[in-house]
Amino acid sequence: MSQERWTEVDDYLADQLIAPDPVLDAVLRASADAELPVIQVSALQGKLLWLLARAQGASRILEIGTLGGYSTIWLARALPSDGRLVSLELDPAHAELARANLTVAGLADRVEVRIGPALESLSELRAHGGERFDFVFIDADKAAIPSYVELAVDLSRPGTLIVVDNVVRAGEVLDAASPNADVQGIRAFYAMMATRNDLEATTIQTVGTKGHDGLALVLVTGDTE
Ligand code: SAH
Ligand code: DHB
Ligand code: MG
């Protein structure tokens, strides 16, 4: 199987399973026009996020890594009308376009895009206490995944589902000696999972328009042993 074939199958599946979506088409066009990197989740992965958040009955969603707001829109569409999504983004230009895209999607009232290094924004959210998220999507810089998971768990409740993107990286995850900080971040995430009795995780490897990668699903069980 080749990349070309994976893409053809993704296109076929998206065609079968996802209704035409002029809003998301416009969002992707706006992101391309602004020359954002084309690294958003695929349509099928976006629908998976929507489906999981919906199945979870999530009314509070946290996202780390907004880019142009493509995954944000999929997730925010799973919210009830009084639901809330907070998305954390380092790059002000990305955040600005995401806000515009969320407005086009009619979701601006439910979504807050917070600008700054996510580690800082997460610490602030934690310091201000209170808000417990039902669903978390981690998709920013990969080296910091272990820290993001740890902080996300502090902002979670038993039953919260945390999804982490890009946890296979075409198999690079196997390379223990990798000089790549992203790969080491992913490996540290798996090492951390082995030590946490309060979390249960699995990873599904994925192929498709985005090549060979994987999504980790982490359930906050809250169990102490
Ligand atoms: N979730 C998006 C894609 C996110 S791409 C989607 O699927 O549509 C990763 C994003 O994380 C980029 O916009 C990048 O600017 C942002 N990012 C990188 N490092 C970050 C950091 N330290 N804090 C917050 N955001 C960061
Ligand atoms: C990259 C980042 C992502 O979040 C992704 O899904 C694919 C690629 C990247 O930085 O290359
Ligand atoms: Mg990603």
- Identify which ligand lies nearest to the alpha carbon of 41: 1
CA 185 to chain centre: 16
- Residues in contact with 218: Cβ distance below 8 Å, sequence separation at least 6, in sequence order: 149, 161, 162, 163, 164, 193, 199, 200, 201
Q: How confident is the model at residue 131 (pLDDT cuts 50, 70, 90)?
A: confident
Atom number, ligand 1, closest to the C-alpha of residue 137: 1
Atom number, ligand 2, closest to the C-alpha of residue 210: 7
Angstrom distances, CA of residue 178 to CA of 38, 139, 185, 187: 25, 21, 11, 10
39 lines ligand 2 (CB under 6 A): yes
Gap from CA of 162 to ligand 1 centroid (Å):
16
pLDDT tens digit sequence for 61-120: 999 999 999 999 999 999 999 999 999 999 999 999 999 999 999 999 999 999 999 999
Q: How confident is the model at residue 225 (pLDDT cuts 50, 70, 90)?
A: confident
**How does the average pLDDT of the chain come out, rounded?**
97
pLDDT > 90: what percent of the chain? 96
- Identify which ligand lies nearest to the alpha carbon of 113: 1
Angstrom distances, CA of residue 150 to CA of 155, 162, 181, 193: 9, 11, 18, 10
User: Are the beta carbons of 113 and 66 closer than 8 angstroms?
Assistant: yes
Residue 171 structure tokens: 């198999």
User: Are the beta carbons of 77 and 107 closer than 8 angstroms?
Assistant: yes
pLDDT tens digit sequence for 51-69: 999 999 999 999 999 999 9
Q: Kindly state the average pLDDT of the residues 214-224.
A: 95
- Identify which ligand lies nearest to the alpha carbon of 117: 1
State the burial class of residue 150 (Cβ atoms within 10 Å of its Cβ: 0-12, 13-18, 19+): middle
* Alpha carbons 66 and 210: distance in angstroms, whole number: 17
Work out whether strand 133-138 and strand 111-115 pair parallel, antiparallel, or are unpaired: unpaired
Reported as type and span, the H/E element at residue 119 is helix 118-127
pLDDT for the residue numbered 129? 81
- Identify residues whose C-beta is under 5 A from ligand 3, the ion: 139, 165-166
pLDDT for the residue numbered 224? 87
The protein residue with its alpha carbon nearest to ligand 2, atom 8, reads: 39
pLDDT for the residue numbered 103? 98
What residues are in contact with ligand 1 under a 6 Å CB criterion? 39-41, 65-67, 70-71, 88-91, 94, 117-118, 139-141
Q: How confident is the model at residue 193 (pLDDT cuts 50, 70, 90)?
A: very high
User: Are the beta carbons of 40 and 71 closer than 8 angstroms?
Assistant: yes
Residue 149 structure tokens: 């998971």
For residues 65, 216, 175 and 117, what is the CA-based torsion angle, rounded to 10 degrees? 20
With the most atoms of ligand 1 within 8 angstroms of its CB, the residue from 24, 49, 89 to mutate is 89
The protein residue with its alpha carbon nearest to ligand 2, atom 3, reads: 39
The protein residue with its alpha carbon nearest to ligand 2, atom 7, reads: 39
